[in-house]
Amino acid sequence: MTINEHLSTFHDLDVVTFPLKTAEAWQPPAEPVAWRLAIEPWDGEESFPELWDRFMSTVDPSTVKALVIGQWGEPGEGVRVTIVIERILAAQEKFSALTGIFLGDMIFEENEISWIEQSDVTALLENLPGLTEVGIRGGDELEWKPVRHNNLQRLVIETGGLPREVVSGVAQSDLPALRELRLWLGVDEYGGNWRPEDLQPLLDGEKLPSLRVLGLQNSDKQDKVCELVASAAIVRQVQQLDLSLGILTDAGAQHLLKLTHLTELDLHHHYISEEMQQQLRSALEPAGVRVNLDDHKEPQFYDQDSEAYYYTAVSE
């Protein structure tokens, strides 16, 4: 996924945007698609409730397998994603085929990731047992309480700062079918105030017996993330480990040298020295591990006497 472009595929389906009210005559495609619903963010002619009603009267909801939700209100106006969740749940009996939901498909020209106005999404998991994939972008006011869901297979939460209550809530959730989990932990300045103890239930692995792909990404504490993951029980069952997008230096990379059981280790966007990069390749690639060390970064200095500054890939 990239936050610089709208999703083109989701839930193994092509994404098709439901047309705006001003669009010309239009017929829904015959094949299954992931429906994208989004209002015009600036001075649009239609509110999200109006868009939703028109969608429900145009497309047979029993055929909808995936929903991708973009802009649902004017940026900065306090319109939370609750306005979307309430409508999905009110029509849940009609959405008999719905198994995938993405909330927050917005690019930076529409809304900075830290401004996307989320809310408590737990009700989706509690009321839609058929969900197999959930994606969320934006951490402002995001809530995820501990929940059990028997069918969820993929969960991705992209933020510039993930609140510790969300990290803890996900970590404490019982998700026996989950195969892929990606959390963009972010930076403290934008709400990424998690602590190591918040991740511990996840790292213990008991609640995620099917997990094979783990991403703990985009953190200003990426060195600590590496230390935690390298010694965690969960890593023994993981095949693909993604620790990319964060402030990762040699101090964190040294903990990864023994993870020879992996099939893939993604570290792109990093501050690892050439020497340590070679150590990683020498230790892991002969064992068959694909190591991604693309996008090497250098710290920035704003004047001759300033300290070094390091940046995650995504923050504001």
- Report the candidate in 157, 272, 275 with the shortest Cα–Cα distance to residue 218: 157
Taking 3-state DSSP, the helix, strand and coil percentages for the chain, each rounded to the nearest 5, stand at 25, 20, 55
Chain Cα centroid distance, residue 312: 15
Contact yes or no for 248/217 (Cβ under 8 A): no
CA 220, CA 58: separation in Å to the nearest integer?
Answer: 45
HSE-CB for 158 with a 13 A CA cutoff: 22
Q: With bands split at pLDDT 50, 70 and 90, how would you rate the model's confidence at 305?
A: low
Supply the pLDDT for residue 303: 72
What is the residue whose two structure tokens read 């923050």?
Answer: 315
Number of other residues whose CB lies within 10 A of the CB of residue 2: 9
Instruction: Over range 79-86, report the average pLDDT.
Output: 96
Asked whether residue 23 carries a pLDDT value surpassing 70, the answer given is: no
Report how far apart, in Å, the C-alpha atoms of 123 and of each of 70, 136, 180 are. Answer: 19, 14, 21
pLDDT digits (tens, 9 = 90+) for 231-253: 999 999 999 999 999 999 999 99
pLDDT digits (tens, 9 = 90+) for 142-178: 999 999 999 999 999 999 999 999 999 999 999 999 9
CA 73, CA 67: separation in Å to the nearest integer?
Answer: 17
Supply the pLDDT for residue 302: 78
Label residue 282 exposed, middle or buried (CB < 10 Å: 0-12, 13-18, 19+). exposed
Residue 204 DSSP code: H
Report how far apart, in Å, the C-alpha atoms of 209 and of each of 66, 231, 291 are. Answer: 26, 17, 25
φ, ψ for residue 134 (rounded to 5)? -135, 130
Contact yes or no for 219/188 (Cβ under 8 A): no
Chain Cα centroid distance, residue 70: 14
CA 195, CA 148: separation in Å to the nearest integer?
Answer: 23
Residues 6 or more apart whose Cβ sits within 8 Å of residue 207: 171, 172, 173, 174, 175, 176, 201
pLDDT digits (tens, 9 = 90+) for 187-205: 999 999 999 999 999 999 9
CA 244, CA 312: separation in Å to the nearest integer?
Answer: 9
